[in-house]
Structure 1
């Protein structure tokens, strides 16, 4: 089944009013950091380590936001975002590029490809949370991991 490379947070069905994020990242450490940030923000999430089923997963689960690495094995994140933006069921989902490509030219090329926002690695968790919050807009009433650690 195509969800073999996916992981969904435990709160999948219980808290359906919480935003659902699809995170596609092939490096385990980066995926762990993303999942920690999403969990601390009160989001449900699906994590994928390869992008072969990203469009299918996005069509089925209709996430509120997609965090998508650019440099992935197989299809690149740029190819994936183009497919997402062509699909009627996924074309309005905000997609954030999470990438090591940090030049101004890379950023412009990524945004022109259809991404709604961009964050370059390495990043601070507060910056990741800000990008997620901006992408989700009013659907998120949360405290950041940084704020939680201050208590």
Structure 2
């Protein structure tokens, strides 16, 4: 099997940084349905270190975190040579009026809470641009 085919057959690794335990549980459930592997943490203190060590394919980052805010974290991530190219999606309660602020801070995209699993799946697919084989979360839910 070629390296490209091996890469396409692997599940994407997502680093989730979410302060709210209920939101973290929902995110875990959604990522599992979509077919992603994930690492979770509920504060910002080790995000850059974890991103450097695990080299995730995507980071889903809550904006409102204890300690460093999501905006401060994304700026640190984008300045690091080993993490600067990892796409980071803001998970926020901001509305569309804050879109430019989020993107100007260095995020690649954002999703607004509350979100549907299908919306999260669409953002992940758009960011990872079909690099991976995903399950269709909506279809899996319909089969149950």
TM-score, scaled to structure 2: 0.89
Q: Runs of 5+ in structure 1 lacking a partner?
A: 1-15
Q: CA deviation at 1:93?
A: 0.4
- Residue of 119, 136, 139 corresponding to 1:127: 119
Mapped partners of 1:30, 1:125: distance in 2 = 12
- Residue of 104, 112, 123 corresponding to 2:104: 112
Q: CA deviation at 1:86?
A: 0.2
Q: Cα RMSD over matched residues?
A: 1.3
Mapped partners of 1:129, 1:138: distance in 2 = 12
**Cα shift readout 1:51-110 (whole Å, capped 9, x = no counterpart):** 100000000000000000001111000000000000000000000000011141x22111
Residue number in structure 2 paired with 1:26? 19
TM-score, scaled to structure 1: 0.85
Answer yes or no: is 1:88 the counterpart of 2:81: yes
Residue number in structure 2 paired with 1:61? 54
Answer yes or no: is 1:45 the counterpart of 2:56: no
- Residue of 77, 98, 111 corresponding to 2:70: 77
Q: CA deviation at 1:139?
A: 2.1
Mapped partners of 1:130, 1:101: distance in 2 = 19
Q: Could you list the runs of 4 or more consecutive aligned residues of structure 1 that deviate by over 4 angstroms after TM superposition?
A: none
Mapped partners of 2:82, 2:93: distance in 1 = 29
Q: Is the 8 A contact 2:11 2:133 kept in 1?
A: no
